[in-house]
Amino acid sequence: MGIDGSEKLIDEVVQFEKAVHANGMKFIEFIYKAIKSKQGITFNYRNIYKNKTSATSLIPYLIKEHRNRWYVIGWSSEKEKYTTYALDRMSGVETTDTIYKRRSDFNASTFFQHSTGIMESKAKPEEVLLTIQSPISNLVLLEPLHATQKVIVKKSDAIQISLKVLLNEEFTFKLLGMGSFCIVNKPASLKKTIKNTISLMNANYL
């Protein structure tokens, strides 16, 4: 069998995950060079929640891939905090002439240590206690929800786990994705968030 035949066979029996689209990837090398040269960047950013595009400036610190999409994390002088932007919603990216001094409070290896996604947060991580029922409990044991996951109780029909994570929309969506198999034991604030979300979802089907 020739090389072409081998490659065809691999395509038939092995499938690799592919991004639905690759918009924004063209900016990766440009932003990488800006980070290396300690330059700020300016760009137009489309906010899908507010449905508007606005001029934005950022001191970039990190380029990160998450679920086949690329993001840049940096310091926003306007917002006075570290902010994450999706590359596929950026346009007109340019560098500034200003050379900035790197902030000492940014650590790329720990910035997302309590995150379950790509969203940044000023809030501190909280201790979460969950009860996961079978068969989803088996999946959670094989693929932990977060690096801080610890098994507190393990039974044949359910497990109880603890996590130390940021309580943001991404984490809420992750829990809702497990449906009725996931029960939030604590904190009370997360229980309330899940309950309110379920009520709003239920109202869509009345």
Quick check: 173 and 119 in contact, CB under 8 A? no
Indicate where the chain has its CATH 3.30.70 domain(s): 126-203
* CA-to-CA dists, residue 90 to 32, 47, 56, 124, 148, angstroms: 15, 10, 9, 29, 33
What pTM was estimated for this model as a whole? 0.81
Alpha carbon distance 113, 119 (integer Å): 12
Angle at 19 between CA 58 and CA 87, to 5 degrees: 10
Q: What is the pLDDT of residue 16?
A: 77
Q: Count of CB atoms within 10 A of residue 131's CB?
A: 17
**Cα torsion angle, 112, 115, 116, 121, sign:** negative
Alpha carbon distance 102, 35 (integer Å): 10
pLDDT tens column, 66-82: 888 999 999 998 999 99
Q: What is the pLDDT of residue 83?
A: 93
CATH number of 126-203: 3.30.70
Q: What is the pLDDT of residue 123?
A: 78
CATH number of 25-99: 2.30.30
Indicate where the chain has its CATH 2.30.30 domain(s): 25-99
Angle, helices 169-176/188-203, rounded to nearest 10 degrees:
60
SS3 27: helix
pLDDT tens column, 150-200: 999 999 999 999 999 999 999 999 999 999 999 999 999 999 999 999 999
Q: Lowest-confidence range among 42-51, 138-147, 172-181, 184-193?
A: 42-51
